[in-house]
Amino acid sequence: MSDSREHWPAAERNRAPILEVLRRVLPAQGTVLELASGSGQHAAYFSAALPGLRWQPTEHKRELLASIDAWGAAEGGDVLPAIALDVTAVPWAVPLASYDAIYNANMIHIAPFEVCEGLLRGAATHLPVGAPLVLYGPFRIGGAHTAESNAAFDARLRSEDPRWGVRDLDEVSALAARHGLRFVERVAMPANNQTAIFERITA
């Protein structure tokens, strides 16, 4: 076991339910770009469970890159070396011009809204028509929180940084549409989270 691996309990808890969705919505083969890979637990787990897919992890916090790489090496999946990426940058500093899918978990509520916009703009740039963008995390639905715990979480986030907060899925979907991404489906997940699936519709 590598000393470089960070263990995030939430990533252990949510990975199996997320995998159920990914098995259905991701292509059988290709390269997935993961944004904000965090500890690297998701990249390693999903890559091992979905052997037709190569996983490209990225992370804004450079201090996490060693953990991501260590998880990828330990789990035996097809995980490429992690790269540093700021999703607000134009253009994205990623190896490929096009990816078969893009995945992100638990980022847009703990970042300013321009990070969400950067994610959507970059996804539209790097996804071919018909390819999926998968976002996981807490969302408000129709302007309302889905649980009291999410409302409390939102208040705590905004107290830490007024630019943070649980995003409204309608607002995210409207912004996605302006970047050529169509909202396809929302899947309710454990612990009052959601998985939102979008697809690229314009070249």
Nearest of 169, 188, 187 to residue 177 by alpha carbon: 169
Q: pLDDT category, 1, cuts 50, 70, 90?
A: very low
pLDDT digits (tens, 9 = 90+) for 22-79: 999 999 999 999 999 999 999 999 999 999 999 999 999 999 999 999 999 998 789 9
Bridge-based pairing state of the strands 53-59 and 83-84: parallel
Contact 82, 72 (CB under 8 A): yes
pLDDT digits (tens, 9 = 90+) for 79-135: 999 999 999 999 999 999 999 999 999 999 999 999 999 999 999 999 999 999 999
Question: The pTM is what?
Answer: 0.96
Given a cut of 80, whether residue 3 has pLDDT beyond it is: no
User: Can you list the domains of the chain with their CATH numbers?
Assistant: 9-200 (3.40.50.150)
Distance CA 203, CA 65 (A): 32
Residue 48, CA distances (Å) to 7, 16, 41, 43, 67 in order: 17, 12, 11, 8, 17
With 0-12 / 13-18 / 19 or more C-beta atoms within 10 angstroms meaning exposed / middle / buried, residue 177 is middle
Query: What mean pLDDT is predicted for residues 167-187?
Result: 97
Helix or strand or coil: residue 85?
coil
CB atoms under 10 Å from CB of 154, counted, come to 18
